[in-house]
A and B are shown apart, each in its own frame.
Chain A
Amino acid sequence: MTPELTDYIENIRYTSKLGGSDDTGIIGELETHIEDKLRDLTDAGLSEEEAIRACLGEMGSPSLVARQIYEAYSQGSWKQVMMASLPHLLFGGIFTLNWWHHIGWLTVLLILICGITIYGWCHGKPNWVFSWLSYSLLPVLIAGLLLLYLPKGWSLIVIPIYIPLAAWWLIHILNQIVKKDWLFSSVMLLPIPIIIGWFLTISPDGKLTEASLQQATLLAPWIGLSFVVLALTIAAFIRIRQRWLRISLLALSGIITLTLVANYTQGHLSTAMFVGLMLVMWGIFLVPPLLERRLRRRAELILDKKRTATTKID
């Protein structure tokens, strides 16, 4: 295939966000179609260059074809809807029923979540795994908070090591997800500002005291409700086919839920904190696409270098 045709196919492959056998199947069909068409056009008397131009014109723009491929494959089954919304519902349930202060229940829930996340991650990263992954970040966050309780000298030594390590791990995970589709990184990160918002309301200094536990008991139904909103968002996200609608849904739901958090906390969440959390929420929708663009540029550079090397050998 010529560089123009390879670029066309690669553009469709990249934008349609397919993976695995779906990708190989439909891309293979497009390649065969292009080869057949080129043969017919050159048999009809067109030069190779003219044939390529005519063929690409008649195939349709890569973004149009990719969007239709995306919409043909993006809708998840009801089983996926159930799996994707389950972790949010579990957390919603644990707060609505006020079981959150039983360390046993929380530990079982976190172990279950980490187990299912590892299973999903190792079995092809299905679309439902990303909402489980959000809560798998919690043990990392909890471990970081527990470091605050270490004797003062130890905290000063351990925290500067722990934070870069945790950040490196998070970026590594984000890179992996962005290779599939940046939108799933946003799905994964969506509950984080909401969890931080509730945590800062309950415990503004970052430490859990008797007063903060009482505050958590009072707010538990509203905390539960915010997780239910997340579950409904993810359920709708899995069923929607159109990409722009998916992005709008996540952005709107995140902002509305965060506004609800600020509303129910009745002044416990300061304006500065709210603005900070809103910025974090916007970061969730800006950082992953930027990361994806960077990875794509790197991949294109590698492809260009390979082409240059092949031309030199020829």
Chain B
Amino acid sequence: MYGYQIIKELEARSEGYFKFKEGTLYPALHRLEKSGLLYGKWQKLPNGRQRRYYHITARGLARLAEDRTQWQDYLNAVKLILQPGQSHL
């Protein structure tokens, strides 16, 4: 995926909830690339322009699995708190 595609995907999947300053995506992608979680590759388009496509590395996948579990646990905890009528207080 390339930067603009990531922004659009994020916006579509969150149904417009997540909208952030788009220029700040690239420093974040470059930080992840420097940490070895992503790697970027320039590709030439038919119109002569170049685009940088980002791919996740094996290390990135491992980190993603870890973070996903953490977020899932957090989400479950929030759901439990918000569920009505479950309080024993």
Q: Check if A58 sits within 8 Å of B52, measured CB to CB.
A: no
Q: Check if B27 sits within 8 Å of A60, measured CB to CB.
A: no
Query: Among the listed stretches B28-36, B58-66, B68-76, B77-85, which one makes contact with chain A, having 4 or more residues with CB under 8 Å of it?
Result: B28-36
Chain B contributes a number of interface residues (CB within 8 A of A) equal to 18
Q: How far is the CB of A271 from chain B (nearest CB, A)?
A: 47
Given contacts A28-B50, A72-B31, contact A65 B4 (CB under 8 A): no
Residues in B with CB closer than 8 Å to A26 are 26-27, 30
Taking beta carbons and an 8 Å cutoff, which residues of B are in contact with A? 2-4, 19, 21-24, 26-28, 30-31, 34, 49-52
Q: How many A-B residue pairs have CB under 8 A?
A: 61
- Identify the closest chain B residue to A36 (Cβ): B4
Residues in A with CB closer than 8 Å to B50 are 28, 32
Contact of A37 with B by CB under 8 A: yes
Residues in A with CB closer than 8 Å to B27 are 26, 65, 68-69, 71-72
Kindly state the interface size class of chain A when it binds its partner.
20 to 34
Given contacts A32-B51, A33-B4, contact A68 B28 (CB under 8 A): yes
Contact of A208 with B by CB under 8 A: no
Taking beta carbons and an 8 Å cutoff, which residues of A are in contact with B? 12, 25-26, 28-30, 32-33, 35-37, 58-62, 64-65, 68-69, 71-73
Q: Looking at the complex, which one of B21, B31, B51 makes contact with A64 (CB distance below 8 Å)?
A: B21
Q: Check if A65 sits within 8 Å of B23, measured CB to CB.
A: yes
Q: Check if B49 sits within 8 Å of A60, measured CB to CB.
A: no
Q: Check if A29 sits within 8 Å of B26, measured CB to CB.
A: yes
Task: State the CA gap A59–B51 with chains docked (Å).
Answer: 18
Task: State the CA gap A33–B34 with chains docked (Å).
Answer: 21
Residues in A with CB closer than 8 Å to B49 are 32, 35
Task: State the CA gap A73–B31 with chains docked (Å).
Answer: 8
Task: State the CA gap A64–B23 with chains docked (Å).
Answer: 9
Q: Check if B30 sits within 8 Å of A65, measured CB to CB.
A: no
Give 18 A-B contacts (CB < 8 Å), ordered by A residue. A25-B52, A29-B3, A32-B2, A32-B4, A33-B3, A33-B23, A33-B26, A35-B49, A37-B22, A58-B21, A65-B23, A65-B27, A68-B28, A69-B27, A72-B27, A72-B28, A72-B30, A72-B31
